[in-house]
Amino acid sequence: MLAILSPSLAIDVPPEVKALPVQYEGRVLPFESYAREQILATTGKLQMKGQSPSETVLGWMANPSYASGVEIFSVGYEPLLKEVGLDLKKRKYNLDDLLATRKIMQLASESAQLKQQEGKPTRVQSEAEKLLGKMGSHYALQTNQVPAFIPSRDPDGNWTAMDDTSTIFDSTTAGIHMGVIGLVSAFKAGNTKQMADLAREMTRISKERWNPGQDRLKRYDMEVLYNKLRPIQWGRLLYLIALLLLLGSLVGSTQLLQRTANWIIWGAFTAHLGGLAMRAVIGARAPWSNFYESLVTIVASMVAFGLIFAKGRIKPLVLGGTAFAGYAALLIADNAGLTPGVDTLVPALQSYWLNIHVIIILSGYAVATTAMILGHVSLGLETFKPQDKELYNANAKAIHRSVQMAMLLLFAGTILGGVWAHEAWGRYWGWDPKETWALISWFGYLGIGHARYAGWLNSRGLALASIGVYPLILMTYYGVNYLLSGLHSYAGGESAAVPPLLIGFLVFEAIVVIVGAKGWHTRFNGSGGNGDGKPRGKDKLVTATAAEGDN
């Protein structure tokens, strides 16, 4: 439970070892960052058994036979298990189990060949190819093929791994080679002082040989600090603390707890933004360039909108919903198998439009999330405080504002995305799944805004609509990327499995909308567009903005 609520603080591996520079997949990074990516590539998790990533990977390096026998490979696709003859009763398998059947390699090879020939592999073949990739990553570590410890004298060159002894021709490279061997031996002996001394000296030698220049060295040192501080994880913890204080204010010292929670949310938001800023420095690019970063950015934008809308009597309700969503989304980001590494940008993303289009569209997703959260708050008020019309109307006004901002940002993001598409692919619009669903999402929020203005939705209808349309955002953001095939997708031409958590969320939201649908339409209760008997539309010439005060 503690590992979920707060960042795990590793004490077995000295910080000097975690800061040791290595190269992995063309990027020079601290050993701790490499270890995290190695574990994720193999197991789909960021850490194992509460250990720091460095501790786990050093353990595998120190005992390759243990690493081969540890059951870390999850195979969730039953047809693949049947095809290769693995025990269906086991949930996880070790490398020895998987290497014992050559069928995996055969199926993976067939998948790769079909892709080269622009064919479509079967799901079994694709899953086998993914599994073989995980096996290869783990095997490469055991055989000292990764990471590369010995720097090139060319700052942009490839470093040398421990399995290649042909480069050990001088005292520098030999010193690093022997230092790695000594580091692993000291780890096995539990001698943390020797580990720290060796890592400190290896880091000095590596930086002198690598000689990357001040800018790249600054980025590297920033990543070491980022790993040490873990600002986004601490922000997540602070969101949780603020949420608990706001819940406590329902039964305790209301004003004191609410003021404290407000300051803690601001502290969490500051840590959150600080983490994104550090990632921007590390990558020398916008910090919303992969799926993990985009989710963290959406959460930051959502919290910003929550702080903007947290005014007057609805402030604790908005802050409570914002703190809950911030904590939950960051928890998902860190536990959903997303890659947290600061990746090098692929050529298609090396454009100034990344700094403009992406942040605008992500902000649109964020404020749509805010509208959904406030929709739930509205239904809660209607259920538990039906007599407090002032509070209810103020929350409805905030929902309407959120929907209006979502309309604006989604529209702007979609238009700018078309301009970027013209520069990248020579056309403004091609009905790619991402483009199509972005348009559908905008029409969804445009429909809510129009229905509210026309008096077709009372306050309950507005709340239900903000909840019911939100799955369009999920489909545009997540579904297109992982479930569909297109220029923006990560599915590689195949449909991925829908996460159970997402299924559960959608089912819950459907139940909320169905149960709450009674009385959503203004005509059902004989009132005008406000749901309180005050006329709208033709009965009273008012604009949507002016009418919000009597929501």
322 and 355 share one domain: no
29 and 59 share one domain: yes
State which residues form the domain around 112: 2-213
Task: Give ∠ CA 75-81-82 in degrees, rounded to 5.
Answer: 165
188 and 286 share one domain: no
Number of domains present in the structure of the chain? 3
Name the pLDDT band for 326 (thresholds 50, 70, 90). very high
Domain boundary among 213, 244, 263: 213
Q: DSSP letter string over 53-109?
A: HHHHHHHHHH-HHHHHHS--EE---HHHHHHHT--TT-SEE-HHHHHT-THHHHHHH
Tell me whether residue 342 is in a domain.
no
* Tens-place pLDDT, residues 193-204: 999 999 999 999
Tell me whether residue 305 is in a domain.
no
Tell me whether residue 307 is in a domain.
no
Residue 225 has what pLDDT?
Answer: 98
330 and 370 share one domain: no
331 and 207 share one domain: no
DSSP lists the bridge partners of residue 29 as 22
401 and 460 share one domain: yes
122 and 253 share one domain: no
197 and 76 share one domain: yes
Separation between Cα atoms, residue 236 and residue 241, nearest integer Å: 9
For the segment 420-443, the average pLDDT, to the nearest whole number, is 92
155 and 191 share one domain: yes
Mean residue pLDDT of the chain comes to 88
Tell me whether residue 144 is in a domain.
yes
* Tens-place pLDDT, residues 371-389: 999 999 999 999 888 899 9
Question: Which has the closest alpha carbon to 437: 372, 519, 364, 385?
Answer: 364
Tell me whether residue 234 is in a domain.
yes
Tell me whether residue 405 is in a domain.
yes
Domain boundary among 148, 178, 213: 213
Contact 293, 287 (CB under 8 A): yes
Percentage of residues of the chain with pLDDT beyond 90: 69
* Tens-place pLDDT, residues 45-64: 888 888 899 999 999 999 99
* Tens-place pLDDT, residues 148-179: 999 998 999 999 999 886 766 677 888 899 99
288 and 381 share one domain: no
State the amino acid at position 281 in one-letter form. Answer: V
66 and 200 share one domain: yes
Tell me whether residue 309 is in a domain.
no
Lowest pLDDT segment from 29-33, 271-275, 349-353, 507-511: 349-353
Residue 489 has what pLDDT?
Answer: 59
Contact 233, 3 (CB under 8 A): no
144 and 15 share one domain: yes
Which helix (H) or strand (E) segment holds residue 384: the answer is: helix 357-384
Tell me whether residue 224 is in a domain.
no
